[in-house]
Structure 1
Amino acid sequence: MGRLSTMHLSYRHTYQGSTDAVVSLMANADFITDVAEHSGATSHTVRIEGATTHMEMALEAPSDVAKFVGKTIHVTQRLAWGPADSQGVRRGTVDFGVAGMPVNVSAAAVLTPTGPDSCVGTYDGDLNVRIPLVGKKVETLVAPSINDAFAGLERRADEWLSR
């Protein structure tokens, strides 16, 4: 088994909606489809189970990554939220994987109210790559795509929450 290469990831999103509104949005199949389409997915599937969202999508691999994985990468995403605590804080997890590759992201997610109709989402976790010899290189090639995915989620949520 190859050496594990790990890169810490941290994101902070500001949402114009309550923590419940954001969780509801992220468990909306139409919203998740919109996120997939705006990310350039060539195909995708969405499954919602309560406050847990599962998405699988095919994306064109960035040219630097295509050398290792081929023209298309198949990404799985799982976003799960727990109930609100007494202050309205919601905790959850975000997991990404790349089919057929020992690459995954696992992050803790926290939605914290900042007002009656606003909250901050923080996502802290790690990008893990287990590929002999080139794990660190693949990590630096994959990280921008993960950054784009988190940024795209925030952009699309801003659009949907402002409706």
Structure 2
Amino acid sequence: MHLHHEQTLPLDVTAAGRLLSDADFVAHRASATGARVDDALVTGSPDSSFTVTVRRSVPSDQIPAQARAFVGDRLEIRQVEAWEPQSGDRRTGTVVLEITGTPVRLTGTLLLEASPDGAVLRYDGELKASVPLFGAAIEKSAAEQIVRTITLEKDATAAWIERHNLGDA
């Protein structure tokens, strides 16, 4: 199942890269989804390449009942974003999201590029649940939760930018 999301940040690409590589921001954004954040780690530098790794857990009550028996009370989600150095007015990367202990995985690309309103952050990915019989239902449920999470993260990002007076693209 293909997923696409984009968000405009009222920042230039350089400032947006600094934001996305700020460990405090990363933890804030992940916790805004209601998840328990177990790790939020940034390695590298916004001046070159950097990697963001977030490990969080959420209750499993929002996945199909037939899948709950396999995962228990909580789902551990590991997300890794690997960003390349900025090139001109853009920065590219990759994203992998895995639900630990399940055959559910999202792989995709990241693009941060200049726009008239600041910087546009785009996620494009393929969500795959390799489960016989229930794969499509699990993909649908996982996609709904990923979209919900992205929306909450988008709101948390806007609030962070406003609270820290960063919005001067």
Tell me the equivalent position of 1:121. 121
Superposition deviation, residue 62 in structure 1: 3.3
Amino acid at match of 2:7: H
SS of the residue corresponding to residue 76 of structure 2 reads strand
Superposition deviation, residue 36 in structure 1: 2.2
Mapped contact 1:57–1:75 kept (Cα < 8 A): yes
The alignment status of 1:140 with 2:140, answered yes or no, reads yes
Superposition deviation, residue 153 in structure 1: 2.4
Structure 1 range deviating more: 59-68 or 98-107: 59-68
Amino acid at match of 1:47: L
Provide the aligned C-alpha RMSD in A: 1.6
Mapped contact 1:15–1:121 kept (Cα < 8 A): yes
Specify which structure has the bigger relative contact order, considering alpha-carbon pairs within 8 angstroms and separated by 6 or more residues. 1
Tell me the equivalent position of 2:74. 72
* Alpha-carbon distance between aligned partners in 1 of 2:66 and 2:20, rounded to the nearest angstrom: 33
Structure 2 unaligned spans of 5+: 45-49, 165-169
Tell me the equivalent position of 1:82. 84
> How many pairs align?
155
* Pairing of 1:102-117 with structure 2 (within 5 A): 102-115=103-116
Deviations 1:49-89 (A, max 9, x none): 11211010111123344541222000000112111213x11
Percent same amino acid among aligned pairs?
Answer: 27
* Pairing of 1:1-163 with structure 2 (within 5 A): 7-50=1-44, 51-65=50-64, 67-68=66-67, 69-86=71-88, 88-115=89-116, 118-162=118-162, 163=164
